[in-house]
Homo-oligomer: A and B are copies of this chain.
Amino acid sequence: MTDSAHIEPVTGTSETERSYGVDEALVRACDTAMDEGRMEAVDALIADLHASDLADLLEELAGDNRRKLLDHVRDQLDPELLSHMDDVVREDMLELLEPAEVAAVLTELETDDALDVFEDIAEADQQDVLERLSPSDRALLEQAMTYPEDSAGRLMQRELVTVPKDWSVGNTIDYLRQRAAVLPRDFYEIYAVDDERVPVGTIPLSRLMRNQRDVPMDDIMLTELRSAQVEMDQEEVALMFAQYALVSAPVVDVDGRLVGVITADDIVHVIQEEAEEDFLRLGGVQEDDFYEAVLDTTRSRFSWLLVNLCTAIVASLVIGLFDAAIEQVVALAILMPIVASMGGNAGTQTLTVAVRALSMKELTTTNAARIIGKEVIVGGINGLLFAVLISGVTWAWFGDVQIGIVIGAAMIVNLLIAGFAGVTIPIVLQKMNIDPAVASAVVLTTITDVVGFMAFLGLAVLVLL
C-alpha cells in the first residue's frame, strides 16, 4: 500500500462535470451583466439558484460587483443565503444590512444557523439586533452565546422532539399528530426522557411506524446513547460522531438534562473547518484568507514571516561561526544547504504525521515513547541511505573523499534529530497548551537548520582543517 511516492492523477470529475454549485459560465455571465448595469438579466440568472449557490456566486464575484449584488438581493433576502455564506462575505453583507433586516433573517433560521450568523455581526451592532428579536428568540441566542466558542452548545439546534419514557407508541403518535403545528418541520428521531429531562433512549421514526400502538417506547428505543455535553469542544464532538458513525447526538447541560441535538450534517462542516485549520496553520497561514482583501492578507502573513526571518537569522549566525572555514573551502558553502534542507523535509514528514495523529487523538502518552523510537529509527535508516548517496555525489563532484564523509556523517546526525524533533516538538507544544499545528513547523526548521549547519560545518572544521 505504501510502496513508493507515486504521483497520482486527480480522480475528481473536472469542473465542467460539476453536478452542484455555480459553474463558471454563470459567474462570467453575471459579471458581464452587472458591468453593463443590466440587473434584470442578473435577476434571470440567479432566479433558480439555491441559497448556497447564490452565496458561492457572491464569493466568486470581484469587489465592486460583489457589493452591488449584495445590495441588489437585499430586498428579497433569503435568510438561508446568510447562513450559507463564507465568513468574510457574510461580514460584508451584515455591515450592509440594517439591524431590523438582520433580526428578520435570524427569526427565520433554525437556532444553530441563526447563531452562526449572529456570531459574525460586529460586536457593537449585536445589541441593536438583539433588541429587535422576539423575547424567546432573543433568550435562545443570548443563552447560546454563553456557551464557549466552538462548543457543542453553539453547534446544537434547540428544535427537537421528546416524549416521557413511559409512554407507548400510541401515546407518541397521538402527541405528534396533535402538536404537528409547533413541532419542527422535519425530524428523524425522537428522544425518550425521564422526569428530570435526562435522555434515556432514542427512537428512530421507522421503529415507531412499524410497531403496534400498545408497545411501550421502552421496548423499542435504542439505549446506547452517545451524548455531548454543552461545553464539549466541537472538534471532540466531531471525533465522537466519526468514532461511532452517529447520525445525530443529544446535547445535555451540566446536570445531564437534554437541551438540544446535533446532526451529522452540522458535523460535516465542523470537520471541514477543523481540517482546514490544521492544514492552513501547518502551512504558516492563520486563517483562510482566500476571500480577504490584499492588505488584510498581507498583514496576517507578515507576522508569520517575521518569525521565520528571526529563525533564518539564527541559522545564519551559526554559519557565521564558521566563516574562516568557508573562506578556505568554498565547497562547504555550496553543500551546506543540502544537509539543512534534507533535515527540514524529513522532519516535516514526521511532524505532519504526528500533528495529524495528535488531532485524531491517536498519538497519546501511552504510545509516545514507541512512536518517538520508531521515528528515530526511520530517521537513522534513511540517514544512512542518504549519507551513502550524498557522499558519492560529493566525492564525484569535488573529488574529495573527506568532504564526502563529512557531509554523510552530518546527514545521519540531522535526520536522526529530525525524526526525534518531528514527534517531540508537537507533543511538548500540546502539553504547553500551544496548538502544535501553529508552532511546530517553525521550531522544527530552526532545529534542523541549526543542527544541519552546525554538524556539517563543525565536522568539516574537525576533519578538514
Contact = CB atoms under 8 A, between A and B. Distances in A.
Contacts of A243: 20-21, 52-53, 56
Given A7-B438, A362-B290, A177 B210 contact: yes
Interface in A73-131: 84, 87, 91
Contact of A280 (B27, B60, B353): B353
Contacts of A289: 2, 353
A254 interface: no
A428 interface: no
Interface string A147-158: 011100000000
Nearest to A11: B233
A209 interface: yes
A72 interface: no
A315 B300 contact: no
Interface residues of A, number: 167
B285 A349 contact: yes
B353 A60 contact: no
A9 interface: yes
A87 B366 CA distance: 21
A287 B1 contact: yes
A233 to B, nearest CB: 5
Interface stretch (A36-44, A136-144, A305-313): A305-313
A45 interface: no
Contact of A20 (B244, B331, B337): B244
Given A2-B292, A207-B186, A337-B315, A356 B19 contact: no
Nearest to A88: B1
A241 interface: yes
A167 interface: no
B334 A323 contact: yes
A454 interface: no
Interface centre among A184, A228, A229, A305 (most CB of B within 10 A): A305
A315 B294 contact: no
A6 to B, nearest CB: 8
A390 interface: yes
Interface string A1-45: 111111111111101001111001001100000000000000000
Given A245-B265, A298-B382, A353 B285 contact: yes
A365 B316 contact: no
A264 B209 CA distance: 23
